[in-house]
Amino acid sequence: MKGHTMTDRFRVTLAQLNPTVGDIAGNAAKARDAWAQGRNAGADMVLLPEMFLVGYQTQDLILKAAFERDAMAALDQLMAECADGPMLGIGGPLREGDKLRNAYFILKGGKVVSTTRKYFLPNFNVFDEVRLFSRADMQGPWDAGPLRVGTPICEDSWYPDVCEAMVESGAEVLMVPNGSPYFRSKHDVRMNQMVARVTECDVPLVYLNMVGGQDDQIFDGGSFVLNRHGALAVQMSWFEEAIAHVDFVQTNEGWVAEDGEKALEPDSMETDYAAMVMGLRDYMGKTGFKKVLLGLSGGVDSAIVAAIAADALGPENVRCVMLPSEYTSEGSLTDAKAAAAALGVKYDIVPIGPTRATVTETLAPLFEGLDEGLTEENIQSRIRGLLLMAQSNKFGEMLLTTGNKSEVAVGYATIYGDMAGGYNPIKDLYKTRVFDICRWRNANHRPWMKAPSGEMIPVAIIDKPPSAELRDDQKDSDSLPEYDVLDGILTMLVDDEASVAACVAAGYDRDVVKKIEHLLYISEYKRFQSAPGPRLSMKAFWLDRRYPIVNRYRDEG
């Protein structure tokens, strides 16, 4: 079926796909396949996301001359291979003299018929585009045949300027290619911004987002099409690759998108969980790992990480290891075994007692006359890290670490011990939300989850007081405030950058707030060496929040 010959109808294929940074050939192959699907569906144009050809975000890789050259060669090849059929829109780098642009190319008939350059270069949160790219002059629309199209690139659609300039220059539809990473409840933010553009410009708008995990960033898809007055015509799914064919029809009022699929938006518990699953799945797949292992302690954090891993990779690719000491309770042994059995993952027991005895004996001459304390507790954790890393090396399994955001924030973790590992699925999940996510997963199952449905995290694990079990009768609350208090303070200090005085005004004890502030600052060196994990909030530890390791500032207000 060839493209429509009628001038009152224009079919667009929206390719919400998952590129891999640096896999230029693989990304081009995905683009060709999407183009072929569009051609077979009679599309006039196939639309791919921002920077799709090279993946997003490339960070400083884009500055490598050889990388840029290979990207341009792939674009030329794509241009030739997609000459006979619909137009293809695809994002990639563009060199203009000494300037590098974030560009969007329209390929047609073996040529680039239009190039749009990104104008607003985001330079906040996880974005560093001013470091990498140069902005060009604001641009108008391009001629798509029966209609004129404006293609503001991602950030260009978050402010009125670029969209208004394109429409004032004759754009009848706005088609926005995006690389917009997830944070909790972001879809509402995006939708409100795009409704504002549609209202201001009085034209329909296509919002095409990429999908997939890249390091800490998760691109959640959720592409949509709006008609005038913000009327939703199409809503694509979240956290999965999808292709949608959308027909625009010319009416007396201008071009209108015909109604299509309208997927229902998941709640924030589901989107957080889906982001963690996708983040792990893509981190593994894109780095070449097939299997994971983790220390399963009988606690809530390792239990939810095991569930995420089983849902992401399949239970057959997950191995859980219990590493008991004399402080490990019978309840923890029972609970860990039950969690592994429910998920259907492999479960091994490797006692640390003999290794610990040897280490204690080796250090005894140096430690003679000194009281036992934190050092001996950390030795246990580091032995576990050693034994898990040895298994990771021997079996080719990536070790997952299991520290939640509350622990990562205040340093309640042992560097080179329980912080050892290649990826941390719950790095941006506060402890109180870990409990909530556990309950959510027990009550919900989705087709994209590879583990069984039902109670995957035994209720006994959720209900018992959290403990590191590194000494007799230890509880997390011995060292930290109760987690609802701790997480409330951390949300203010980290996510809101609030002052100590504001925390006190919110009802928190000043001494407790000051203690948490101190722990937060002195733990920066641990976070600097910690494993990456999926970004779920606007203040995830890494690119969102960049603090110095050496820092004597304290808020005395």
For residues 41 and 120, state if they share a domain.
yes
pLDDT of residue 498: 97
316 is an active site residue: no
Which of 50, 68, 469, 517 is an active site residue? 50
Domain boundary among 232, 257, 282: 257
Domain that holds residue 182: 11-257
CATH number at residue 450: 3.40.50.620
Q: How confident is the model over 71-93, as pLDDT tens digits? A: 999 999 999 999 999 999 999 99
For residues 425 and 348, state if they share a domain.
yes
- Classify residue 545: in a domain, yes or no: no
pLDDT of residue 1: 37
For residues 444 and 352, state if they share a domain.
yes
- Classify residue 520: in a domain, yes or no: no
- Classify residue 143: in a domain, yes or no: yes
- Classify residue 528: in a domain, yes or no: no
For residues 249 and 306, state if they share a domain.
no
pLDDT of residue 471: 67
CATH number at residue 85: 3.60.110.10
pLDDT of 475 strictly over 80: no
For residues 51 and 149, state if they share a domain.
yes
Number of domains in the chain: 2
Query: Rounded to 5 degrees, what are φ and ψ at 521?
Result: -70, -40
Rounded CA gap, 317 and 208, in Å?
33
Domain boundary among 223, 257, 291: 257
Answer yes or no: are the C-beta atoms of 465 and 435 closer than 8 Å: no
469 is an active site residue: no
Rounded CA gap, 99 and 259, in Å?
41
Rounded CA gap, 476 and 534, in Å?
25
- Classify residue 18: in a domain, yes or no: yes
Q: How confident is the model over 417-446, as pLDDT tens digits? A: 999 999 999 999 999 999 999 999 999 999
Q: How confident is the model over 202-234, as pLDDT tens digits? A: 999 999 999 999 999 999 999 999 999 999 999
Q: Which two tokens stand for residue 510?
A: 């000043």
Rounded CA gap, 532 and 552, in Å?
26
- Classify residue 504: in a domain, yes or no: no
Which of 82, 129, 154, 517 is an active site residue? 154
Q: How confident is the model over 221-270, as pLDDT tens digits? A: 999 999 999 999 999 999 999 999 999 999 999 999 999 999 999 999 99
Mean pLDDT of 379-396: 96
For residues 337 and 252, state if they share a domain.
no
pLDDT of 485 strictly over 60: yes
346 is an active site residue: no
Rounded CA gap, 306 and 132, in Å?
38
Average pLDDT, the chain: 95
For residues 280 and 175, state if they share a domain.
no
Which range has the worst mean pLDDT, 74-83, 152-161, 271-280, 326-335?
A: 326-335
Which range has the worst mean pLDDT, 230-234, 416-420, 468-472, 528-532?
A: 468-472
For residues 104 and 44, state if they share a domain.
yes
For residues 332 and 460, state if they share a domain.
yes
For residues 168 and 313, state if they share a domain.
no
Which residues, 6 or more positions from 42, have their beta carbon under 8 angstroms from its beta carbon? 1, 2, 3, 4, 11
Residue 479's pLDDT band (boundaries 50, 70, 90)? confident
For residues 282 and 238, state if they share a domain.
no
- Classify residue 544: in a domain, yes or no: no
For residues 299 and 179, state if they share a domain.
no
Annotated binding site for ATP: 295-302, 402
Quick one: CA torsion of 129, 134, 138, 139, rounded to 10 degrees? -100
Bridge partners of 181, per DSSP, are 219
Domain boundary among 476, 501, 532: 476
Which residues, 6 or more positions from 171, have their beta carbon under 8 angstroms from its beta carbon? 140, 141, 148, 149, 150, 201, 203
- Classify residue 537: in a domain, yes or no: no
Annotated binding site: 180, 186, 295-302, 378, 402, 407, 526
Annotated binding site for L-glutamine: 180, 186
Rounded CA gap, 444 and 334, in Å?
24
**CB burial class (10 A; 0-12, 13-18, 19+) of residue 9?**
middle
Mean pLDDT of 322-326: 91
Which of 30, 118, 286, 405 is an active site residue? 118
Rounded CA gap, 397 and 390, in Å?
10
